Structures are given as structure tokens and as C-alpha cells.
Structure 1
């Protein structure tokens, strides 16, 4: 049992990677569409490149989108609509009118019989207008082309011609015509005016009942228009895929999905998907193991990469499920931009390509989708650099958006043969894609906090010499601060020379000696008074203070929340080298005693990247150059060679993936920079 537990403990990293691999593969397979893939690829307007195709089984031919759309429009324009008749409005209007007429004064010109006649005639007009109903203008605008409507009057329902309904434009003419038998006088004018004021619509559109009627009619639509029998010829080799041929192929493709994705072979299809998804994820793991070993050994970074792949696939799947028309809105180029910001361009592009290939199972027109996004991903990797510069991301996004539009334009011309069929909405979608790509800045910030990663933006902020920690270093150990700046300049130039991350190594150099703030006077660069406190200490105690500046630096860095990648420079800048001066002094003081070398050696680890190796070389070279009493081109040249050869002999670079050729380039840069610092020139022979 103990052996099993010990084995699990020793291999916990590998077990976690395996578990992460399985979980990621499971979720991706789960997100894949539940349908088989049609075995033939074809494009509208192109010749059929396969052999004659015969129907493998009976299937129905589907109506085209245009046919279905036309049928729906016909139904909407002809389906009967419901209108609601308000029975209270006519009664209310009649009472209002009678009350108004009763207020008329009986005079010489208007007798009681005249008032009664006016009242009766007005009531007759009201009855005529409300016989079938007076429709309001809003409801009138919702009437379709059907000649009849269904009128709901209390509990009665009746079909009437729409023309029977009175409209606002007809009211005045009806009133005038009906009252034309009356003589023109004050009473007639009063009735016309009053009726015009009090008559109001009482027929409104019944939204609920009309929608139910429309839904029922739409449910009855048939989406098929014919049948293809088994072994019937569908298309011959060389025929153009258009018209009825295209419709038959589309119908066969849809029918094939339902034929393939059945319960009997569901497990086989899932098994096939699992193999393909696992291969893609395995390729990524093999790439990391072969070319990015430091990432492969870091489970947090692998989790970060896998979670980003899963996020992109999840978001794209949701969009395809709910509205595939907006397929290109999702900014997949965020993935390579983010990965390049934290790692490198090669890993970003490799991961992006695998993600796009997996999305090919989900999206329609998979070849076009894959081509578009791979080209855009390449442009993103090539154009996105130095994200800490404000204009950099804007320029990159503009280039990516342009490439999207240009590639889509080319695809449209190939498929349609002209530019008239290009859908302008896609250019808007690509523009929206570009705007959403700026979310990369948010994701970079978010991932820095969650996964402890470091981007160029953070490095730029940390390299500001006015930051609190560097200001404190300048105040407590000004000599160390100046030394750090000189080392940062050397390291940045060396990194640029061999193609390493110059921003990272510069920032690491600025912080590599912050541990000297604890005991600044014990380091020569800070001894401005000429008093050396080491004179009062034993070599062993002096060495302990010197060695301890690495540990103290790590503690200070963690206390100030510096990223792990910066702490790595503090931890490795002396590797496992000796504090040689005090080691030799201890040997001189105790010639008969074997000196314990461990007490005079840094704990390490040795540099494990090009950047940390560059810092080790530049730190040692800059410090050693201060010991030259009369620096010359020759003495600097010999000194740098001696320093680097000593580090090589102590095997300080065996884990740093740096070549001898790159080391020689670094030495050349350091020599040139130091000669410029000391204002030296190469001595020419006489």
C-alpha cells in the first residue's frame, strides 16, 4: 500500500496531466454536434467531382430556403386574423350624443320637432358606423391581404369582409351624407361637429388569437416537396451543382445525418470523435514535451492552455447552436494573441491551428471557416508584438480584420463567380470580431492574476524605476541600484542580439539584487565611505551575509507580489557558484583544515532559460569590470572571457538551452558596451 501511495505521490504531476487530458477531451466531444459527417464535399456552382451518385436509401427532397420563405409570406398574407369588437363604445357614444343634443335651445329657428329629428338622425348615423365596427388606425396597419376577418363580439364570432369596417378617413363623408337630407342650419352643423368629436374606434386587432391562428398555419407547412427512391440517379459526374441537383444533394446530406446518428451506432460515432479530439490534444502535449519542456513540466500552464482551448470551443458551439449566421463574430485570434503574450508565437499558432481544426466538426462550411481562421491566426502571431505599446494591438487588430474581409471576399468570388452575391453583413461581422479582439487585453490581465503569468504589459510596469520597490532599493542601496541598471542595459542588449525576451531579462535584472537592501553596507558598491564591515567578520560569516542576499531577495519579492518569472532571476543569477573571495580567505586562515565548500556556495538553482543565463553572465561581467583599475580594451576582453569560461567550467549553463554560439554573441555585446561605458577604443597597431 505504501508503495502505491509513494508511486502516486512521485507521479502526481503526470497523473494530473492525464486527468486534465481526459476531462478536456470529454468536454470537447460532448460539445461536438450530434450528427454524422456527410461523406461528399461540394460547392454550389462547381462541377460534381465524384462518380455518378445514386440514392443509397429512400429520402424526401427538401424545399429550399427561398421556397419556404415564400410559403411563409403567403401564409402570413392570407391567414385569417381576429379583431375584437367593443360593445360598450357604441352605447357610450350614443348616450353622449343624446345628452349633447338635448342641450340645444328651442328657438324660433329650431323647434322641438327639429331637435328630435336631429337626435334621431344622429343616432341613426351612430348605429350605421358601429354596425360592423369602427377600426382604429394602429389595428388597420396590421391587417394582411385576406379579404375577410374574424370579428369577436362578446361571445359571438363572425366572418365579415374587411371592407365592412369603417375607417377614420370615411367618418366625415358618412356623417355628411347621412345628414344631407337636413336643411343647412345651426342644428345640422352642431350634429356634424358633435359626431366628429365623440365617435371613436371600437374594433382593435386581437394579437393573441391572431398569433395562435398564424402559428397553427405555420405548423402545417410541409418542408418537403418530393421523394427520391433508392438507387435513383441524383447527379452525374461533371454535372454542375446547382438548382435541382443542389437541392437533392442538400436533402441527401440532411437525411444522411438522421440515418447515421442513431442509437445503434451512437457509441461508434462518439468513439470516432474521441480518437480525433484525443489526437489533437496529444499533439499539443507532444509539442510541449519536445519543444517547451518548462511549460510541459508546469501543470498550471498546461491547465491554462487547455482551458483556453475549451473556452473557445464552448463559445463557438453556443453561437452555432443558437444563431450560426453570426459565426464569425467570435474573435478566435484572441487565443494566439494571449498565448504569444505569455509564452511565444510558435506555441500560440500551434494551439490556434489545433483549436480551429477541432471547430471544423462544429461549424458549417468547415473548410472556409478553417482557412479563414488559420490565415487570421498567422497574421495575429506575426503582427502582434510589444503589447505594452498602445498602438501595437490596434495595428494588429486592423490587419487581422482586413485579412478576414479580404479572404471572405475571395471565397465569395470563387463560390458565386461574381461580386453581386457578396453579403455585406459579413463585413460588419468581421468588424465586430475586430472590436471584440480588444478583449485580449482584459484576458491577459485576468490570466495574470489567476495563473500567475507575466505579460509584456506587466513587465513594462515593473521595469519603471519609479516603482515603490525600486525606489526603496535606490534609497537603501544606491550603489546596488546603479549596478542593477547597468546590468539591465547589458542584458537587454544581449537578449536582443540572440532573439531572447529582452523585456523579461531587463525587468529581471532590475530586481535581481533587491536582497542587498537588508545589509547594503556589506556589498562593495554601497561602501562609499571606504569602511568595509567585513574586516570585523570571519570569512564564514561574511560569506553567509553575501549568500543570504539571494534568499532575502526572494522573500522581499514574494512580499511585494512580484511574479514568479521575475523571482526566478533572483533565485538563479548566481547559480551554484562559489563566493570565491571569502572561500579562499577561509583557506588561507585555516590551511590545515579542510574548508566546507557548501558554506561558501550559492544554493542555486542554475539558470534554466536563455534569459536567466544572460543575466548571470551580465551580472558577473559588470561586477568584475569594476575591479579593473585601468580598464583597457584588452583587459576588458580578457576579463569577460575569463568570467564566462569560469561559469562554463562550473556547468552553470547546462539547463538553460543556450548555445555556445549565442554565448559568444553575448560576450561580444558585453565587451562592446563596457568599452563604451569606460570610453575606450580598440588600440590600433603602429
Structure 2
């Protein structure tokens, strides 16, 4: 910086400006930025809020585990606890159900349908076959019997043989036939009444734990034996042999009645289920008790479902025990101490590496809010996973850790404040998340990996759809981490797929949530993202359209200033899009009176010729206030209002100030050819009346625009554009404003100012590059020619060829 001793008058003016700049804030937003006590109180409240959100009512039983996973630590019960084992209770219920035999019913239709066919056989023999045989000769009897048998089989489907029919006719009288058939039906009825089962259709549940087939048949006589078709066939043969019939006839009867031996037992699913449910209802829940000091898990062992259930019960028991005395016990005290250490380390890092962050209470408040919101979301997910009916679900327990939106804060803060603040908060959230998951290094690493992925894909993001992509990539990072640790724990493929899908889905939802809260945060905390800045560069914005129509010269000037500022911002590593967008709007106040600004004046008329210097200076200064008011009415982001107010700083409007001094020295000099009103004594001219109201530029971007605005306007007055003239112009303006103290509140360094100056010189030379002056051609009389002659073609060279001269 360049310093010089100021006169008493200049010191008075400076003191007046300083008092105005340091005036008491008039709204809440300015109070947030000005009250330094807010930061200290915020840090204390932040620590208490984190402890309340993350640890009060949450048990430290280590990370969530799944059956089949390898235990990495020994977990010992610190308190005695009792719980009802749902797993062992269900196992006991299943054992009791297996002891209940299935219910079967005897289907009476099997015997009834066969009995009707036997009656049809008896009727057919007596009424059709016997009368027919009496009229036929002996040699035709066999044909008649075969014909009858075939017709009967086609009608009933029994499949009796003609030989058996012949035996019944030859060896029985009609009365004997009736008696034998009736006795056969009785024997078959008794056999079918006991039930015949089909082994291939027997329910597997009929085999109990001892390997014995158990069953129960409704309305079946007690003391009888369940039989197969083979057993029933032997019993039928024995009973038919007991009839007073010869052996041949007995065998014929057996062959006929054996057609009716079919399985007639049907499984009654409804009654079986009712019986099993009744037995299950009588089972008492299995209660498991653990004493203090009992080991729940050993490192290196595969966890069983019972151990996982015991760990979940232990977690809930600890949670209930910690709710006493506002939830403050030894474990919570340790977690509170660790949280204080984390907050203290974060404050030290901010003090050392991020001083600009520390000076902005607005940034601190926004960061704290996003941090707490992210922790609340994580805690809600964990509380849902700890619900009784969900804690017993292996699927929920396998995925609940990966349902936490850990990358939310990193994505939002990287767009609103910057990557460094986002990484800092992500590290803090990851550490707290690891502590919430029982000091799990896995949870910490996965959370940090996800946050870094989201921050990486939020760099230079200018489309809202890209925010969803950043969230999706954060979810992919979680999925990769889950896959890595899942393979180490020998988790099943199904579990790994569930975790990956859940992580990716939550990542997309995190990006969508970030898009939803960004506009609200931008408006409340006066931050502007590149997404909004890019939207503001649309030339169809109503203010820009109005500027283009009513003040075209100012519009062109704004475009040139935007080009100058954008390149300079790139040179020193600040936001070029912010410079470009705000430059387009920095002079919108000139729309109110565009004719009073030289770039919009036409036909040589200057309305300032009819005004005294003080009034002209007031009109010129007023475009800053008008611009700020227009920006406020159009609801432009706060950074646009800041640039509009600061782009002239408190610089002196030299032209009208010098004009006023000259008029004081020559009071009779007329203005615009007329007479001027009497002016006060020159010694009474107040320099502050000819200075902009400020404030002076307070950010690097505003300072760049502050310089670019003046340099672009001054460059138009250069009579001859040469590198030396441009360099002298840029140096003069920069040095003059430094000496005037306009950079006293700017964070720019001398090295950055030097680079900005070089950028301005380069850009100005390219904007105002010279052109070849073409000589005027003397008019010549056109030669006469007829329709048969062609005009001469001039030779092409670099001086006359438009295709070549266009690039000169």
C-alpha cells in the first residue's frame, strides 16, 4: 500500500466516512456480520447442541452387526439386562408345531362311486347279459360276454376282464351273485373307512422330531391303523377268501373289488393350521438374562443370530439406563469431552488457516446450521433403525448405516461457501458419525469418502441437475466403501446389493434435498452460488433488456467491464462468474437518467451544461442509489447490491469538482451560454459533496470491478492506443485510488494488484486494437462497354483483397 500524510481537511472527511461506515446496523443481517460476540456464543451453543443431537439417549454398543459377520471387538455387558429372545421363542414355536400331526379327512366319494359301479355291474349281468345268453347257442356266449364287458368298461372305466365276468356267471346263481357283490362292498367299505394314504402325497410335516409319522383323521375309528394301497389289497384278499366261494371265484371277486382300492385321505390345511396355532399360542416367550461382566461377543468369531439379537437388546438397555438425570452418565461425559475437543480443534483450524471465515459471522452461522441439520437427519435415520419392529429385521439392520445422508453438509457448503469449509465440516460430521456408530472406523471412513466425492463433483457446478449428480456420486462412494468392508466381513451377496442400492438411492435424495434448500439459504444468508450467477447472466433478464433499450451505451460499457473483470478474476483465482454476472448489473441505476451519462449522449447535447457542478455530481452519485433500489426491487442476490454500492467506493467525481473550483475562481463565467446562480466562496466547497457515498470495496471481486469500471471508461478517451499509453493509464488509475485510500478495506494483496494490472493492460490492448486506415479511392468515369465485353478483373493482393485485409 502507498501511504501519505493527509491534511486536516482530508482527515475530517475521512473521519466522517469512517463513522458512517461503522454506523450501527439497521437490520438483522448486518447485525449478524457486525456482532463479534455471536461467534463465541455460537460455538458454545453448537457444542451443547451436538451432544444433545448425537449422543443423549443413544447407547455406545459398537457398530451395527449382522449374523455371519466377524466380530472385531469384545463386547462385555456393563449393566445387567433382560430381554425376550424372539429368535429362540420362534424356534420353540416351530418345534411345537412340528409335534402337531396334520389333519386328514376320509373322502367318502371314493367308496360311493365304486359302489355305484358294482351295482351297475350286477344290474347289467342280471337284466341284460343272462337273458341274452339263454337265447344264444354255446358258441356265441363268449362273444356276447366280451361285448358286454367292453361296453361296461367304456361306461364305467373299471377295466374288469371278460374272464372274471364269465366266472361270476358260470359259478354263481343270480342270488349268489348279489350276495357276493354285497359282501364285497361291505368288506371294501370297512377297509376304506380306515383310510388309505398315498406316500408320495403325505405332508412332510407329518414327520416329527423323533422321526415318527404322526397324523389325525377326522371321524375315524380309534385303534385302527393307517394303511397303504398294498396293505389294503392284502386285507381285501384275506377277507374275500373267507367267503363261501371257491378259489377261482374268490380271485375273480378280488380282481374286481381291487379296482376300488384308491387313496381316500385328503389333507385338511385349515384344521391343521388352527391346531398348530393353538399349540404355538401356549408357548411361553423365552427370556434371556445377562449379568454385568458377561461377554456378548469375542473378536474373530462369526456372530450368530442370537448374538446379534443380544447386542441389539443390550443397546436398548443402555439407552434406557442413560435417560436418567437428563441422560448424563459416564459414557455421555466421555462423548461430551470428545465433542469439545473436536469443536476446539475446528476453531483452531479456522483461526490459523481460514481467517476470512472467522471474520464472517454469517458464514459461521450458516455452517453451524447446516452441520446441525445434517446431524439431525443422521440421528433420525438411526432412531428409525432402532425401533423395536425394525431392529429385528436383518435387511433394515444391514442398510440403516448407509441410509444416513452424510454428504449433505459437504454438498451444500461447497456451493455456498467453498470447498475448504465443506471439507472441514465433513471431517467433523464423519468423526461424530463414527462416534454415533460406536466409535466405528468404518463409519468414519465411509462418511468421509462420501463427503469428499460430493464436494469434488460440486466444483464449478453451474447447473442444478449437476447437484443431483454430485449426490449420486456421493452415494456411489458409500456403496464402494460398503462393498469393501462387506467383503472383509464375509457378508452375503444379497446383503451387499441391498447396501449398495440403499446408498445410491440416498445419494440421489441427498442431491435433491440440497437443490431444495439452496434458494432458501441463499436468500437468508446472502450467499450466491454459481448456479444462480449463471442464471443471472441471461441477457433476457428484464433489467438487462431495459438497460439495453434505454441506455445502450451503458449496456455496452457493462459488457466491456465484465470482460475485463472476468479475466482479472481468473488471474488471481477468485470467482470469474461472480465478476461477470455482477458487472452486467453494476450500472443499472443509470436507467433512471441515461442522458446524463456521456456514453448514452447523442447529437452532442450534454444536459450537464445546464446544471451547476453540485447538482451534476448529485445526479451522477444518485445512479448508485437508484441501482441498489432497482436491484432490491428485482430481488437480486445480495452480492449484486454489494457490488452496485461499492463499484465507485468513495472516489471523488473530479470533473465536476474541478469545474466547481474553476467556477468559484471565475464567478462570472456563464454556464451553457446563460447566467449562473451565485455560488458560495471556493473555500466553502465541501469535497465530500463530490464523493460517492461508498462503501469502499470490501471483497476481491468488488475491488476488481471497482478498477475495471474506471479503467474501461477512461480507455475510451485515449487518442492513440499503444501499449505504453494503456499501461500508463492503468497504472495512473490504480495508483491514484490506492493513494486515496480506496483499498483500505479490500483483502487484495500487492501481488494480486500487480497481476490484475497486467491482465487489464492485456485485455484493453485486445479490446482497443488498431485497424488499418483504408485510403479513399478517387471517383473515375465508368468506361463504356457493350453487352459483349466483360469488365476487367483487378489483380488480387493484400491491400485490395477483402478476404486478406479483414485479418490485418
Q: TM-score, normalised by structure 2?
A: 0.62
SS of 2:566's equivalent in the other structure is helix
Q: For structure 1, which runs of at least 5 residues remain unmatched after alignment?
A: 1-6, 682-686
Deviations 1:392-433 (A, max 9, x none): 6687567656655665566567x66xxx66756336524542
Is the 1:337–1:348 Cα contact (8 Å) retained in structure 2? yes
Separation (CA, whole Å) in 2 of partners of 1:460 and 1:447: 18
SS in 2 for 1:590: helix
Could you tell me whether the CA contact under 8 Å between 1:479 and 1:525 is conserved in 2?
Answer: yes
Q: What is aligned with 1:491?
A: 565
2:789 is matched with: none
Match of 1:242 in 2: 300
How big is each residue's C-alpha offset from its partner over 1:526-546, in whole Å with a ceiling of 9 and x where there is no partner?
224432222222222222222
CA shift in 2, pair 1:145/1:529, >3 Å: farther
Cα separation, 1, equivalents of 2:429 and 2:339: 10
Work out which of the residue numbers 251, 270, 275 in structure 2 matches 1:204: 270
Number of the residue aligned with 2:434: 360
1:605 alignment counterpart: 695
Instruction: Report the equivalent of 1:220.
Output: 286
With over 3 angstroms needed to count, the CA separation of the structure-2 counterparts of 1:537 and 1:202, relative to structure 1, is: same
* Residues 1:641 and 2:699 are matched in the alignment: no
Matches within 5 A, 1:72-471: 76=94, 79-80=97-98, 202-204=268-270, 210=276, 214=280, 219-220=285-286, 222=288, 241-243=299-301, 266-281=328-343, 283-284=345-346, 290-293=355-358, 295-297=360-362, 301-302=366-367, 304-318=369-383, 320-321=385-386, 322=391, 323-326=396-399, 327-364=401-438, 366-388=440-462, 400=474, 404=478, 425-426=495-496, 429-430=499-500, 432-451=502-521, 452=523, 453-471=527-545
301-310 or 565-574: which moved more? 301-310
| Structure 2 gaps, min length 5 | 1-30, 64-68, 128-177, 241-250, 666-680, 772-808
In the TM superposition, what whole-angstrom CA distance separates every residue of 1:476-526 from its partner, at most 9, and x where no partner exists?
222222211221222121111111112222211112122222222222222
* Whole-angstrom distance in 2 between the partners of 1:72 and 1:343: 54
Residues 590 and 470 (structure 1), Cα distance of their counterparts in 2 relative to 1, 3 Å cut: same
Q: Which residue of 2 aligns with 1:656?
A: 746
Structure 2 distance, partners of 1:143, 1:474, is: 91
* Residues in 1 aligned to 2:313 and 2:267: alpha-carbon distance in whole angstroms: 51
CA distance in 1, matches of 2:56, 2:444: 18
Distance in structure 2 (CA, Å) of the matches to 1:116 and 1:657: 118
Determine the structure 1 residue equivalent to 2:153.
none
Which residue among 533, 539, 550 is the counterpart of 2:607?
533
Q: Shift of the alpha carbon at 1:673?
A: 0.6
RMSD of aligned residue pairs (Cα, Å): 5.8
Q: Please, which moves more after superposition, 492-501 or 527-536?
A: 527-536
Q: After superposing the two structures, state which structure 1 stretch, 29-38 or 447-456, moved more.
A: 29-38
Tell me the residue number matched to 2:706.
Answer: 616
Match of 2:131 in 1: none
CA distance in structure 1 between the aligned counterparts of 2:302 and 2:500, rounded to whole angstroms: 33
SS at match of 1:577: coil
User: Cα distance 1:506–1:15, how it changes in 2: closer, same or farther (>3 A)?
Assistant: same
Between the aligned partners of 1:486 and 1:216, the Cα distance in structure 2 is 88
State the secondary structure of the residue aligned to 2:375.
Answer: helix
CA distance in structure 1 between the partners assigned to 2:543 and 2:214 by the alignment: 81
Aligned residues, how many?
A: 630
Give the 3-state SS of the residue equivalent to 1:360 in structure 2.
helix
Q: Deviations over 1:146-190 (max 9, x none)?
A: 567798989xxxx999x97x9xxx99x999x99999999xx9999
Contact 2:565 / 2:580 at 8 angstroms: preserved in 1? yes
- The 1:434/1:628 distance shift into structure 2, 3 A limit, reads farther
Provide Cα deviations, 1:552-610, integer angstroms capped at 9, x if missing partner. 22222222222222222222212222323223223333352422333332222222222
Counterpart-to-counterpart distance in 1, 2:38 and 2:258: 98
> SS of the residue aligned with 1:585?
helix
Compare 28-37 and 455-464 and name the one that shifted more: 28-37
Distance in 1 (alpha carbons) for counterparts of 2:639 and 2:555: 20
Taking a change above 3 Å as real, the CA distance of residues 351 and 259 of structure 1, as seen in their structure-2 partners, is closer
Quickly say closer, same or farther: Cα 1:319–1:506, change in 2 above 3 A: farther
Aligned to 1:655, what secondary structure does the other structure show? Answer: coil
